[in-house]
Structure 1
Amino acid sequence: MTKEPTAARLPLTDPELVDRLGDDLRSAGFSATGVPELLGTSAHRALGRDERWPAFRATRDGSALSTLVRLFLLGTTEDEKAVGRAFPMLGIDAAVSAGALERDGDGIRAGLDIRPHADEDDEYLVVSDLDSDTRPGPVRHDHVLGIGQASITLANAVIRERAERVMDLGTGCGIQALHAFSHSGSVVATDTNPRALALAGATARLNGQRWDLRPGSLFQPVAGQRFDLIISNPPFVIGTGVQQYVYRDSGMAGDRMCEAMVRGMPDHLTPGGTAQMLANWIVREDADWRERVGGWVAATGCDAWVVQREMADPAEYVALWLKDAGETGGQAAETASAWLDYFATEKVAGIGMGMITLRHSGSDDPDVVLDEITGAGEEVTGDEAAAFLSRRNWLRSTSDLELLGARLALAPSVILEQRSLAGHEGWSTVLRLLRRPGGPGATIQLDEWGQALLAGCTGDLPLAMLLDLMATAHGLDLAALAEAVLPTIRVAVTRGLLHPVNA
């Protein structure tokens, strides 16, 4: 295991050099707009699939932008003169000294991963370490992970409402803090890894942002402080407790890190504050994952929405993370064997992977929903998370009597799907599904009565009147009909299929 780096050897810690680096990158057009324009649509899409040869072909002109793309996005070693032209303000020697570049024989290669990134509002540059695909072999112990699927998933799921104080716990390269800055008054970003804090600091400076960067584990750096929003993509990988790589291994066995984070959130949330984090959890043989994770969130006293997106097979899980770290050969086999032995001892049937959202509502009866939502296109987004919490809060404060008096309307995007079987008397409907495309878990099954009732939910009449009309038309008992229907109505509201009008 390598020694922790000293501050003197950390990359991009000189603000002046970072500024000059940024000037060179921007001057060349190294941006989320400039790179796709250079590559062209086809090559840019191919690069997103990790097919690099079209991008090599598109960057043969020797321009500064082509050289930067080859260095930082394709991982090639380039001619020193070409690299010098790409860094007129920083210079090669200063770039090497700062750790942005490295000498490789007679050429120059990237020392760090620096890549353009964008959201709906702005364009950014993000600094991290090169991954094992760009630089083959195991990554370093203090490797700083760049933009990946997990970080994008979390960024998309964060509720983008104004938050005066934001904490990014386990900031890594700083991608979550970067997105949070635009809707916050201040950002505190923490990490146990000095190298991560250095690269996060460079990411902030390259983008003209200021974050309060603090070293330390869990909530130690913010003891006694509270935040309106806490975001975390922690080292959640379920393992033996050996910290082989800081970015994935917490140093705590099993899922104790995720449990500790969840249980610690309420002490650091303001009233009404929200915490959102990615997490992995152990699913043991003959056990429901909801029991384990439900115990964590119930202890917080917060409203909670937990979504399990996937359950990974133990062997596939180990293979995934060995590949991610670039481990191969005998050492990888030894690590995998010890890892799987641990899973077998702990009777681990699978590893749950998902999102946990908490809100410090102050309710004496916190609302906890644990969902398993695995469908493509049903990912949690910030808008969906905010709407879900709002709908659940409305339902909690609305009695059955008040619900009967509410005017409800179907969401505009809702569609009804029916499946039928052929018989001697024609087609017979056997399944009715009401679906809101793109809504996480936004599907309910209806019977014929439910289909008719929800068709009448146009926002014009109170629910009680619709039930009365149905009961009268079919000779049903109104009280019994209401008792049977109200649970389905509450589920439909929860999933955003129905919504109260003027409420």
Structure 2
Amino acid sequence: MTSALIDLLRADLTAAHYSVSALTGLWGIQADAALRRNQQVPARRALVALRERLSRPEPTATLAQLFVLGLPVSADDLRAALPSLGVAGAMELGLVAEHAGEVRPLVELRPYSFLDAAGAGSWWIVSDLGELALGHPLGENHVLGVGGASRTLSSLIMPIQVESVLDLGTGCGIQALHAARQASRVVATDISPRALELAALNARLNDVNNIEFRLGSLFDPVAGERFDHIISNPPFVITPRTPGVPSYEYRDGGMVGDALVEAVVRGTAEHLNPDGVAQLLGNWEYRADDDAFDRLASWLTSNTPGSLGETPELDAWIIEREVQQPTEYAETWIRDGGTRPDTPDFDRLYAAWLDDFEARDVRQVGFGYLMLRRPVTGAPTLHRFERLPEALGHNAAEIGAHLADCLAAHDWQAATDDAALLSATLTVASDVTEERHYWPGQDDPTLLTLHQGGGFGRSVPLSTALAGLVGACDGELSIGAIVGALAQLLSVDEAALRSELLPQMRELVSDGFLEL
């Protein structure tokens, strides 16, 4: 019966044209932006003005008022907006409650649109009511909807067609839905029964049928199994293990410090097929004067051999996007739970966070993206740790494809010796530009920089020789021929020039500036 009701809900939402663009049309771009800042007054004013112009609310306006703004509507208006499901059906699905002819929401139900390698798409996502609708801090078993971290991870997922994907800590199921577009089967796990209930509802609501949902902590629900791709937006937030500090299931794994992220990293090797890839978000601590990257590197080997055999050291490409001081970190996550800064509770929680960091000598907290790979015997290895404050570049929708291209390019150049590289022909990627600066009146540039328009938006300083080499990469001349011509032009030793330029060429290939 529940499945049939969800099908009726899908039909009604479709008929109502309940979409991201429809909501923007209701209240405008500025109100949309305000909602992203947790301010709903502009959207409410727009709906009031719309209702004054119409004799009866539009179905989309009713649904937006109820499920986006969290405000009650009349039972009659909801019946008009959901004619197939009706109020009784919405109550049976746990979406609303009715009293004296007024209906109030029990969940958020928001349209969500996206663009990935398979093209544009849209879904409806059910999650728990947020702070604005509740009027008080979130409950500890709160199931979060699509937030900034969710969008970040979905943009990073490499568009690779695979047989199997594991979504570890699925929450409302958004990453599992994305994974289902490029996998034959998806297993989605979570420690929260409530999260799995809503994730399964979202899969059915959006007519996605290749996801299996399992209850359990970390890798327990998939013991003895391996996957081609693992994705995870784990509960990585560092929370004091102190009485009276809320432990939110959607963000807190119940471990001390960054131990949850360490457990996920160490567990991936046992659960990846050879050449399989894991992608996740995470926080990591800087303790005392140590570099967090040293700790991350130590996590790449499992403490013990896995039940499926030996687990080799993982390949890793780890990007740190941001570093926060303990004070900034505490403020961010206390506010995230709905506790206002001007309250005694905020000050109490703030002290608990600072006490926790001080006890473990944590000086900073890093945030970033981890790409891990179970290597194939004899294949090139990848250990890359870098800090990129603008790590999503200028086109977040294509960053997953860029990651996949860079991974393939790295493997190619790492497996190609210098002689083969010199015989290769390369071309400059279409998004790459060169910037030159001159002193007034001078013919020769004083500064040359290569810029990447897509990908991670990297900028690379160029020497005269490297600029000449990149500029001549037209897909016709080999690298060796170009280096030879440059050596003559610059009157330098050709062998020395090769030794200087080839390592730089390899980096430009790995970063997507140059292509085969």
For normalisation by structure 2, the TM-score amounts to 0.88
> Are 1:367 and 2:347 matched, yes or no?
no
Q: Which moved more, 1:404-413 or 1:170-179?
A: 404-413
Secondary structure of 2:460's aligned partner: strand
Task: Report the counterpart of residue 473 of structure 1 in structure 2.
Answer: 489
Q: Deviations over 1:60-110 (max 9, x none)?
A: 241222111101112212223323332333333443343211347863221
C-alpha distance in structure 2 between counterparts of 1:167 and 1:15, whole Å: 24
Q: Deviations over 1:143-176 (max 9, x none)?
A: 0010001000111110122111111110000001
Task: Report the counterpart of residue 306 of structure 1 in structure 2.
Answer: 318
C-alpha distance in structure 1 between counterparts of 2:500 and 2:381, whole Å: 25
Q: Deviations over 1:155-213 (max 9, x none)?
A: 11101221111111100000011111122111111000010000001101101122211
2:8 aligned partner, one-letter code:
R
> Contact conserved, 1:77 with 1:104, CA < 8 A, in 2?
no
Task: Report the counterpart of residue 60 of structure 2 in structure 1.
Answer: 65
> Are 1:354 and 2:368 matched, yes or no?
yes
Task: Report the counterpart of residue 197 of structure 1 in structure 2.
Answer: 196
1:335–1:217 CA distance, 2 compared to 1 (3 A): same
Q: Please state how far the C-alpha of 1:16 moved relative to its aligned partner.
A: 3.6
C-alpha distance in structure 2 between counterparts of 1:488 and 1:115, whole Å: 47
> Are 1:15 and 2:3 matched, yes or no?
yes
Q: Please state how far the C-alpha of 1:26 moved relative to its aligned partner.
A: 2.6
Task: Report the counterpart of residue 474 of structure 2 in structure 1.
Answer: 458
C-alpha distance in structure 1 between counterparts of 2:418 and 2:237, whole Å: 43
> Contact conserved, 1:442 with 1:497, CA < 8 A, in 2?
no
C-alpha distance in structure 2 between counterparts of 1:55 and 1:104, whole Å: 25
Secondary structure of 2:477's aligned partner: strand
Q: Please state how far the C-alpha of 1:349 moved relative to its aligned partner.
A: 1.8
Task: Report the counterpart of residue 308 of structure 2 in structure 1.
Answer: none
Task: Report the counterpart of residue 306 of structure 2 in structure 1.
Answer: none
C-alpha distance in structure 1 between counterparts of 2:410 and 2:134, whole Å: 47
> Are 1:123 and 2:141 matched, yes or no?
no
> Are 1:291 and 2:303 matched, yes or no?
no
Q: Which moved more, 1:387-396 or 1:80-89?
A: 80-89
Q: Deviations over 1:268-317 (max 9, x none)?
A: 11122211111111122422222121222366523221111111221111
> Contact conserved, 1:241 with 1:250, CA < 8 A, in 2?
no
C-alpha distance in structure 1 between counterparts of 2:21 and 2:135, whole Å: 29
Q: Please state how far the C-alpha of 1:50 moved relative to its aligned partner.
A: 4.8
> Contact conserved, 1:159 with 1:383, CA < 8 A, in 2?
yes
C-alpha distance in structure 2 between counterparts of 1:255 and 1:222, whole Å: 22
C-alpha distance in structure 2 between counterparts of 1:313 and 1:421, whole Å: 40
Task: Report the counterpart of residue 256 of structure 1 in structure 2.
Answer: 259
> Contact conserved, 2:392 with 2:399, CA < 8 A, in 1?
no
> Are 1:142 and 2:137 matched, yes or no?
no
C-alpha distance in structure 2 between counterparts of 1:377 and 1:267, whole Å: 29
> Contact conserved, 1:157 with 1:381, CA < 8 A, in 2?
yes
Map 1:221-232 to 2 at 5 A. 221-232=221-232
> Contact conserved, 1:132 with 1:324, CA < 8 A, in 2?
no
- Unaligned residue ranges in structure 2 (runs of 5+): 303-311
> Are 1:220 and 2:231 matched, yes or no?
no
1:84 aligned partner, one-letter code:
R
Q: Deviations over 1:111-152 (max 9, x none)?
A: 101111122332211111111133221111110010001000
Q: Please state how far the C-alpha of 1:377 moved relative to its aligned partner.
A: 5.1
Aligned CA-pair RMSD: 2.3
Task: Report the counterpart of residue 307 of structure 2 in structure 1.
Answer: none
> Are 1:315 and 2:333 matched, yes or no?
no
> Contact conserved, 2:125 with 2:202, CA < 8 A, in 1?
yes
1:473–1:431 CA distance, 2 compared to 1 (3 A): closer
- Out of 99, 102, 109, the residue aligned to residue 104 of structure 2 is 109
Task: Report the counterpart of residue 391 of structure 1 in structure 2.
Answer: 409
Q: Please state how far the C-alpha of 1:451 moved relative to its aligned partner.
A: 1.5
C-alpha distance in structure 1 between counterparts of 2:286 and 2:199, whole Å: 34
> Contact conserved, 1:236 with 1:257, CA < 8 A, in 2?
yes
Task: Report the counterpart of residue 512 of structure 2 in structure 1.
Answer: 496
Task: Report the counterpart of residue 282 of structure 2 in structure 1.
Answer: 279
Q: Please state how far the C-alpha of 1:41 moved relative to its aligned partner.
A: 5.4
Q: Which moved more, 1:270-279 or 1:296-305?
A: 296-305
C-alpha distance in structure 2 between counterparts of 1:359 and 1:370, whole Å: 14
Task: Report the counterpart of residue 237 of structure 2 in structure 1.
Answer: 237
Q: How many residues align?
A: 486
1:69 aligned partner, one-letter code:
A
C-alpha distance in structure 2 between counterparts of 1:485 and 1:192, whole Å: 51
Task: Report the counterpart of residue 353 of structure 2 in structure 1.
Answer: 339
C-alpha distance in structure 1 between counterparts of 2:28 and 2:332, whole Å: 32
C-alpha distance in structure 2 between counterparts of 1:330 and 1:96, whole Å: 37
1:432–1:287 CA distance, 2 compared to 1 (3 A): farther
C-alpha distance in structure 2 between counterparts of 1:355 and 1:104, whole Å: 46
Q: Which moved more, 1:73-82 or 1:196-205?
A: 73-82
> Contact conserved, 2:319 with 2:391, CA < 8 A, in 1?
no
Map 1:71-110 to 2 at 5 A. 71-103=66-98, 107-110=102-105
Secondary structure of 1:387's aligned partner: helix
C-alpha distance in structure 1 between counterparts of 2:278 and 2:356, whole Å: 31
C-alpha distance in structure 1 between counterparts of 2:484 and 2:175, whole Å: 51
C-alpha distance in structure 2 between counterparts of 1:166 and 1:16, whole Å: 28
- Out of 391, 408, 418, the residue aligned to residue 436 of structure 2 is 418
